[in-house]
Structure 1
Amino acid sequence: MTNPPGGDHAAPHTLITENQQFPPESSAETVLSEEEESWARAAQDEAARKEAADSIIQAFGGVRGMIDMTLPGLVFIVTYNLTHQVSTAAWGAIALSAVFVVIRLLRRETIQHAFSGVFGVAIGAWISMKTGKAENFYLPGLLWNVGYAVGLAVSALVRWPLIGLTLGPVTGEMFTWRTQNPGRLAAYTKATWAWVVIMGIKPVILFPLYFTGNVNLLGWLKVALGIPPMLLAMYVTWRILLTAPPPIKAEQPEES
């Protein structure tokens, strides 16, 4: 049989050339698989970030929780304008807060935020009836706003941001953001400072009105500044957490 041109050494040379031009299919499949895994991981991280960000409204009671804590103040100022009786207005606010709690109990929903509303309204009502001054109905809420803003600031300074403490149990990460996820700790700290600024606006505006004794303006502004600042703080937090690293789920103890 006649050898191809170039003799016996031509065949190996041709084989090497073919191997160089046509890499094994398994190599291409491996590269493709790695790319797919990378895309899958990226998609999972993005979904985890979005889920964690969306948990903000749930953690703070949602719009329903904000309404539960805002409407009693509206009832107070409306009733006071109609009757000019502090006690009547106070009892009207208490009654509405109690109705909210009953409705949540009947629906087997959490009463945390509704009960907080009842507690705050009851204290304000007691102080206003005891002193006979309608503006004192809003005093506990104003003091709470100041204390909350200070607490947020202190928590951020000591690197235990309150927004992280609030959202950790909701997202399932608990405190892993504090020890294993520095990017998320930074995000929670940034969000907490945003809350300090936004929630600190309310007492800055309302406390001067409280000392003037202008009950009408104080009451209406207190209602107007109830939900919008909360929604703004939630939105800012949501935007911050969308770009933060995904949460690291806390390990659950195995049941024996």
Structure 2
Amino acid sequence: MTAMSDAPQSPRPDEGDREDAAREPAPAEAADFGRQFAAAAEKSGLGALARDEKLSGRDLLTAVGGVRGILEALLPGLVFLMVYSGLTSFAGQDAQAALVPALAASVGLAAVFTIARLVTKGQPTQAIAGLIGVLASAALALWSGNARDNYVLGFFTNAGYALALIVSLVVRWPAIGLIVGFLMGDGLSWKQDKRKYRAAQFLTLVWIGLFVARLAVQLPFYLVDNVEALGATRLLMGVPLYALVLVFSWLVVRAVYPSSARSAE
């Protein structure tokens, strides 16, 4: 009889490649994801910003929603915080008594923004989405009777974005690379360029950092029921921090994409 060897068999040369490939989404799926998100980014003005030879304040403003979009994003939350803090700190009302008028002011302002969009035949999508978010947050706060729950949906949103970006890194298709690739007319070829691929990984980590930072800073205020600090940090870490990360992302994209590629668009 032939003696059997106890030594483990070496894997076939192509087995490791197959295992790596199994962890990655098919190129067609990655391409679909990139196209869809790049199209949405293009409509929001991010495409023009990404292809700018020099950072344009006008394109940056458009990318964060324009003046009207910024007001729609900031003012309902600011009004809620001001009314709630004013009633509890200066008018002597208890927290539950101050909750309803603060929520009413916030929802009312969001509704005014939405109606203004419809009347002026502007793009109502952002205002409608904002109104839905304000209504859902207000409903949660009313249901619990606690003003801090007006901010709870934001935690799930940021956690969801962070998780999605982390998954994209794990499967080795960093989401920021997919979006930027199609915005720059590069398709999926950036993945074969080591410099662009590393930049895509880095930027995806930066955006993960944004969402994780929001959670790390704001969750403690939620847990100790500090509504004023929670509301203030939510405002400061919203549009302003988003704009800073956009500028940093533009600097990285500009460094790895040659001028000819941007001007070709």
Calculate the TM-score normalised by the size of structure 2: 0.64
Q: CA RMSD in A?
A: 3.1
Report the Cα offset of residue 241 of structure 1: 1.0
1:1-256 aligned within 5 A: 49-50=51-52, 58-62=62-66, 64-83=68-87, 84-166=97-179, 171=183, 173=185, 176-179=186-189, 182-183=192-193, 184-245=196-257, 246=261
Aligned residue identity for 2:169: A
Q: Any stretches of 5+ residues in structure 1 without a counterpart? A: 1-46, 251-256
Aligned residue identity for 1:177: G
Q: Deviations over 1:156-202 (max 9, x none)?
A: 33244333455566x373xx432466445543332221111123211
- Give the distance between the partners of 2:256 and 2:120, measured in 1 at CA: 35
Alpha-carbon distance change, 172 to 116 in structure 1, aligned in 2, over 3 angstroms: farther
Report the Cα offset of residue 208 of structure 1: 0.8
Alpha-carbon distance change, 199 to 126 in structure 1, aligned in 2, over 3 angstroms: same
Q: Among the aligned pairs, what percent are the same residue?
A: 30
Report the Cα offset of residue 58 of structure 1: 4.3
- Give the distance between the partners of 1:48 and 1:231, measured in 2 at CA: 13
- Give the distance between the partners of 2:215 and 2:237, measured in 1 at CA: 10
- Give the distance between the partners of 1:241 and 1:100, measured in 2 at CA: 34
Q: Any stretches of 5+ residues in structure 2 without a counterpart? A: 1-48, 88-96
3-state SS in 2 of match to 1:85: helix
Tell me the matched-pair count.
201
Does structure 2 retain, via aligned residues, the 8 Å contact 1:177–1:248? Answer: no
Alpha-carbon distance change, 57 to 148 in structure 1, aligned in 2, over 3 angstroms: farther
Partner of 1:32: none
Aligned residue identity for 1:126: A
Larger radius of gyration: 1
Alpha-carbon distance change, 249 to 114 in structure 1, aligned in 2, over 3 angstroms: farther
